[in-house]
Structure 1
Amino acid sequence: MSAAVGLTLGPVLFHWDAEAWRDFHFRIADEAPVDTVAVGEVVCSKRLPFLADHLPAVVGRLEAAGKRVLLSSLALVTQERERRWTAELASGSGPTMVEANDVSALAPLAGRPHAIGPFVNVYNEATAAWLAARGARRLCLPPELPAASIAAIAAAAPPGLAVEVFAFGRVPLAISARCYHARAHGLAKDNCRFVCARDPDGMTVDTLDGERFLAVNGLQTLSHGCANLIEDAPRLARMGVAALRLSPQRCDMVAVARTFRAVLDGRMEPAEGRAALARLYPAAPFVNGFLHGRPGAEYVAATAP
């Protein structure tokens, strides 16, 4: 396995207690074998003030530990204040790279090194090349892409563009201007009382037949299953993928990162890694169907390399 494949910790998508969010990142800085960490509020602008006081300390701690930090933008910009915040983030981040999760961030970032998050639809080589020409240096592909598309984009990536794949965590599927969480509790979006904090790992949504199907996180819809590409890591490495992204869930993410690192370094077999992750995160079944060109909720067992 190639040790050149890095690990990225994505932004926390859920509404965690601010101090818990801070302490989580402090531990990541001190203990997790990840190269890059994305921080910031991606899902709901109403949550931004909760993180603001802790963000400088978190960024400082991560950078002092030798991590590359990305400042993540919102994935959906619908209001004037959100547009202003996105523009300010893109133009005033200093040396810290911004990760654009909405195309509204691209104009103020043009010509400056930046990253593209998995919420921007990049489905082919031409789009990746266009973004790279405008300053993108990192590109996390949307999690619904099959292996053939990932391989084509990675093979054609211009020099200086690192291609990343979403490899662990509940899969972000959609985001809306409406707040599902608030409505489920009989509340309006403008008076939501931040009920999403009651579900720090997402609120499970069942079908009419009682089958667990999706998870809701404020404005966001995620898969119920947890993406886990650890058994697919050898194949992704051979494609030229530069990094695997781990999306924080309510579990020991330091141990998750160590498990992925052990598999990438050849110190652990992929099947052994999958078993270890199942013990670390038993809350949801593992899925990898999108990578294999199948329904996303399926899991396709790895075959021999």
Structure 2
Amino acid sequence: MQFALGPVLYYWSAQKMRDFYTQVAASPAQVVYLGETVCPKRREWRLPDYLAVAHELREAGKTVVLSTMTLLESPADLRELRRHCDNGEFTVEANDIGAVGLLHEQGLPFVAGPAINCYNPRTLKKLATLGMQRWVMPVELSRDWLAELLDQPEVQDIRSAFEVEVFAFGHLPLAWSARCFTARSENRPKDQCGLCCIDYPDGKAVHNQEGQRLFTLNGIQTQSGSRYNLINELPSMAGLVDCVRLSPQAEGTFDWLARFHANSGGECPVALEPNDSNGYWLKLAGIEQVETA
């Protein structure tokens, strides 16, 4: 089982990004995803910056994947997508079906990101025939669903053609919108947002009337309020999952990566924190937390 660090989903300063990826190079993560997937206005780093870090991480022994935007809203977004697909060196994570089409046209393999709606064997087989080499399961699906899907005859025929990756740690990306909810929460129009997302390095918490953290605002992306944490579910992934993804957080990412690595076979279970959840994997409401250690 491999461990991956997903793309940074939040808006961090250029220096914070640089410091983070310096630590990534020395970490036990085998796979690293790079790129802005949420908002094109976040320009602290551009594609040349990501490519420079990609070369450094590759020299450190990491498998590097370039992640694309999830919601394309303008011709400029499409041009940027083409530049990612035309990078000529690194595999691309397609987070939009348009990226799948562009990569297939060029005969390039790709990773199908968690935002690609893939819920049945026919879709999975279609993506594999288009060049998918790794599939990141949609975050709201369960272990039982995954096991049943992979057991279907038409998937069994192509199972060796792709790897399975599961989002296992971090606030879950749930939805994207043309509106920027972080800006709206500060009474700012989207076009004059002042890039206020940079003030929330782990997103902006939204609580219900009972004081429970229900959602996390991250620009045009809405995330879960609870932190998804499957550290104690790793043994149940044996034989099903090839790669486990941790989503970078502003603090503590590498401590959690070390804990996941130590608990690969269930030898070092960890008590979940009050705001952690694991419901989706267990076929429950996503916000639920069940101690299974």
Normalised to the residue count of structure 2, the TM-score between the two structures is 0.93
CA distance in structure 1 between the partners assigned to 2:228 and 2:114 by the alignment = 14
1:288 aligns with 2:250: no
- Measured after TM superposition, the shift of residue 200 of structure 1 is 0.3
CA distance in 2, matches of 1:225, 1:45: 26
State the partner residue of 1:38: 33
Tell me by how many angstroms 1:57 deviates. 2.5
Tell me, in whole angstroms, the C-alpha distance in 2 between the residues paired with 1:40 and 1:213.
27
Q: Residues 240-251 of structure 1: matches in 2 within 5 Å?
A: 240-251=240-251
Distance (whole Å) between structure 1 residues aligned to residue 244 and residue 150 of structure 2: 13
Whether the 8 Å contact between 1:170 and 1:227 is mirrored in structure 2 is yes
Letter in 2 for 1:253: T
What is the aligned partner in structure 2 of residue 222 from structure 1?
Answer: 223
Q: Which of 100, 103, 110 is residue 106 of structure 1 equivalent to?
A: 100
Query: Which of 2, 5, 8 matches 1:6?
Result: 2
Question: Match for residue 57 of structure 2?
Answer: 62
User: Which range moved further: 290-299 or 121-130?
Assistant: 121-130
Residue type of the alignment partner of 1:269: C
Q: Which residue does the alignment assign to 1:281?
A: none
Tell whether 2:119 aligns with 1:133.
no
DSSP 3-state at the match of 2:45: helix
Q: Distance in 1 between matches of 2:117 and 2:75?
A: 23
- Structure 2 unaligned residues grouped into runs of 5+: none
Return the offset for 1:83. 1.5
RMSD value, Cα: 1.6
Q: Secondary structure at the match of 2:201?
A: coil
Which secondary structure does the structure 1 equivalent of 2:238 belong to? helix
Task: Please say if residues 135 and 165 of structure 2, whose CA atoms lie closer than 8 Å, have aligned partners that are also in contact.
Answer: yes
Instruction: Give the direction of change, closer, same or farther, for the CA distance of 1:252–1:210 in structure 2 (3 Å limit).
Output: closer
Task: Report sequence identity in percent.
Answer: 37
Aligned match of 1:81: 76
Distance 1:234 1:154 in 2: 18
Tell me how far 1:48 sits from its aligned partner.
3.8
Q: In the alignment, residue 247 of structure 1 is paired with which amino acid?
A: S
Q: Relative to total residues, which structure has the larger helix share, 1 or 2? A: 1
What is the CA–CA distance in structure 1 between the aligned matches of 2:200 and 2:48, rounded to whole Å?
23
- Separation in structure 2 between the aligned mates of residue 18 and residue 153 of structure 1, nearest angstrom: 41
Where structure 1 has 5 or more consecutive residues not aligned to the other structure, the ranges are: 279-283
Distance 2:75 2:44 in 1: 17
SS of structure 2 residue aligned to 1:50:
coil
CA separation of 1:288 and 1:265: change in aligned 2, threshold 3 A: closer
Structure 1 stretch displaced more, 51-60 or 217-226: 51-60
CA displacement, residues 198-245 of structure 1 (integer Å, 9 cap, x when unaligned): 11001000113432211100111001111111111101114x211111
Alignment of 1:297 onto 2:291: no
**Does 1:120 find its partner at 2:110?**
no
**Counterpart in 2 of 1:176?**
177
Spell out the pairing of 1:177-196 with structure 2 (5 A cutoff).
177-196=178-197
Kindly tell me the number of residue pairs found equivalent between the two proteins.
286
Give CA deviations for 1:60-108 in whole Å, capped at 9, x if unaligned: 1110111111100001112111112112211x12120000001111111
